[in-house]
Amino acid sequence: MPRFALKIEYNGQGFYGWQKQNSLPTIQGEIEQALAKLEPNLPNIGAAGRTDAGVHGLGQVAHCDMFKDWKSERLKGALNFHLQPAKISVIDCAPVEPDWHARFLATSREYLFRIVCRAAPVTHDAGLVWQSRHPLDVKAMREGALQLLGTHDFTTFRSTMCQAVSPIKTLDEINISERHYPGGSEVRFQVRARSFLHNQVRSIVGTLERVGARAWQPYQVGKALRAQDRTACGPVCPPDGLYLESVTYTENPFTITNPPLELSDKPANDETIPD
């Protein structure tokens, strides 16, 4: 069966996450329904990351098997037609080897989290950002984040429902940037690792937000990490504002390079995959 890699973006509002669930709307379920309109009885698709309810995708990657040898552009167009009106879009499609796997061949995943700091309610970005009514100390959050880089036991930042065999993960990068605008600012966290524990990114951002709000001191982030105790974690932030931004492979499967949607000026400077 010909196999294709798909690069997918989606608005997670109204969906119960990526993974298909009986009688509940999910991203996987919508895409498999669209595929069934092209060819019946296809195998289930596989994805690089199983994002949770309300989490968005800018560069999710999945693979699907077809019976017919489709032209990539035609398959992409047909899927996007049948995905309407769901807020899901296939932004790239490419043929891959029959054993190519979106999850197991991924070398890193990068998550983006957006916090808007302002007193007035958000309108256009409602459901797409987490709103803070107070400003955040970005310098202090960066100091706290440094203590999480590298290989650690992340039990503190792991959901009690996490099914990963081990809590040991390697966090390769945490970039925190801030953009000011009239009436407020937006703080962005970009977190990169090969794989993540369940709710790891949301737990980290929620904890760092407490540092930014000056409710915690930066050193307390390292203390919480070393505790290896879920109760030592700060509040877990909501899924609003979390995006699976990109997935990296040793060999890029896509012949057409379409970068993820730019929400605004991205500075130069999440198996258990889910978050």
* Per-residue pLDDT tens over the stretch 181-234: 988 999 999 999 999 999 999 999 999 999 999 999 999 999 999 999 999 999
Q: Which CATH number fits domain 3-104: 3.40.50.10260, 3.30.930.10, 3.40.50.10490, 3.30.70.580?
A: 3.30.70.580
- Cα–chain center distance at 161: 18
Please state, in angstroms and rounded to a whole number, the distance separating the CA atoms of residues 91 and 83: 12
| 83, amino acid identity | L
The reply to whether 107-243 shares the fold of 3-104 is yes
Please state, in angstroms and rounded to a whole number, the distance separating the CA atoms of residues 191 and 25: 28
**Structure tokens belonging to residue 272:** 């258990």
CATH number of 107-243: 3.30.70.660
Please state, in angstroms and rounded to a whole number, the distance separating the CA atoms of residues 91 and 116: 27
Decide if 52 is catalytic: yes
The DSSP element (H or E) to which 211 belongs, if any, is: helix 200-212
pLDDT average, residue stretch 156-177: 95
**Structure tokens belonging to residue 251:** 């060999």
pLDDT at 3: 97
Contact 190, 171 (CB under 8 A): no
Buried b (16+ CB within 10 A) or exposed e, 179-204: eeeeebbbbbbbbbbebbbbbbbbbb
- SS3 of 144, please? helix
Instruction: Residue 20: count other Cβ atoms within 10 Å of its Cβ.
Output: 18
- pTM for the model stands at 0.90
Domains in the chain: boundaries: 3-104, 107-243
